[in-house]
Amino acid sequence: MLKECRKHDYWDATYEDSMNLIASLPQVAAHIYRRTYHNGDIIAPNPEEDWSGNFAHMLGFEGIDFKSLMRLYLTIHADHEGGNASAHTVHLVGSTLSDAYNSFAAGMNSLAGPLHGLANQEVIKWVFEMIETLGTRTPSDDQIKKYVQDTLDAGKVIPGYGHAVLRQPDPRFVAQREFAREYIKDSEIVNIVWQLFDIVPPILQGLGKVKNPWPNVDAHSGAILVHYGLNEYSFYTVLFGVSRGLGVLAALCWSRALGFPLERPKSVTSEWLKTQLDK
């Protein structure tokens, strides 16, 4: 259908596709979750609920606290500035006038990388491995310090820490910590996340190369989900993706409405490169 559109009418079809996609995402994601982890016991949507409440319901979580968590989660993961890999991928693919479905799918492939959205799974996996290795769910600060150092010595990054743009604790981390302080008492996993918040930044600062030693959005989310019983962490990036749909698809509508051009990195000639090297 888009092929037949005049360029300046694309926003209309993009808007319609985006609205349909945003409306469907929770149901598609919940279907995958129930099919993969709960014997295909699918839960029908409840039209009385809002977008996030309905998502929680279809996943199989009815508690008011979990629904508040989903509302927070789906809000803070939507997007923050458009330059991150998944948002930028949606923008890039959309700039070819590919439709909203193809553009969003491309962005999700980008979100799946461990330096990006997969980090929310990597964090909890790393914490569980720490618990297993140390043989305790209540490790001391010294035990955690050593585990962090061992991870770095193995040539790996500390998941959930660092950011390409932010230079302070991620406000989305702080929002989740506030939520946990208010709603969650005495969770050993949440306590480990809070210990890490004290322990990791000075270690990363000591490396002398990390531009932002502070936690990002992914450092906290897994511990809270585990607290509420959503333990299947290989699903966490799907949750992230549902939320990201809100931000990137809204941006896609604006890109078409404003007639943004096909995006392409600038190419340079060998001569230009030689001149730069000579300089």
Ligand X SMILES: CC(C)(COP(=O)(O)OP(=O)(O)OC[C@H]1O[C@@H](n2cnc3c(N)ncnc32)[C@H](O)[C@@H]1OP(=O)(O)O)[C@@H](O)C(=O)NCCC(=O)NCCS
In angstroms, the CA 101 to CA 17 distance is: 7
Q: 77, 91, 116, 227: which one is catalytic?
A: 116
30 binds ligand X (CB under 6 A): no
Q: Applying CB under 6 A, does 241 fall inside the site for ligand X?
A: no
Rounded Cα distance, 48 and 255, in Å: 33
Can you tell me the distance from the alpha carbon of 255 to that of 251, in angstroms, rounded to the nearest whole number?
Answer: 6
Residue 170 bears catalytic tag: no
- Residue 237: how many CB atoms within 10 A of its CB? 22
Catalytic residue from among 57, 91, 163, 220: 163
- 218 makes contact with ligand X (CB under 6 A): yes
Residue 164 near ligand X by CB under 6 A: yes
- 18, 54, 110, 216: residue in contact with ligand X (rule CB under 6 A): 216
The residue from 8, 38, 181, 211 that contacts ligand X (CB under 6 A) is: 211
Part in contact with ligand X (CB under 6 A); list of ranges 70-78, 140-148, 213-221, 228-236: 213-221
Closest distance between ligand X and the C-beta of residue 214, in Å?
10
Indicate which single residue of 26, 160, 245, 247 sits in contact with ligand X (rule: CB under 6 A).
Answer: 160
Q: State yes or no: residue 162 binds ligand X (CB under 6 A).
A: yes
Catalytic residue among 79, 218, 220, 227: 218
**Among this protein's residues, is 163 annotated catalytic?**
yes
Residue 163 lies near ligand X (rule: CB under 6 A): yes
Q: Based on the residue annotation, tell me whether 91 is a catalytic residue of this protein.
A: no
The full DSSP string for 61-120 is: ---HHHHHHHHHHHHHTS-SSS-SHHHHHHHHHHTTT--HHHHHHHHHHHHTSTTTTTHH
Residue with Cβ nearer ligand X (10 or 126):
126
Instruction: Tell me the closest approach of the beta carbon of residue 81 to ligand X, in angstroms.
Output: 12
| CB of 157 vs ligand X, minimal distance in Å | 4
Write 101-107 long-range contacts (CB < 8 A, 24+): 101/17, 101/21, 103/248, 103/252, 104/21, 104/245, 104/248, 104/249, 104/252, 107/244, 107/248
Nearer to ligand X, 31 or 125 (CB): 125
Spell out, one character per residue from 111 to 140, where the chain touches ligand X: x when CB under 6 A holds, - when not: ----xx--x---------------------
Nearest to 72 by CA among 190, 164, 171, 193: 171
Find the angle CA(277)-CA(278)-CA(279) to the nearest 5 degrees.
90
Which residues are catalytic, by number?
116, 163, 218
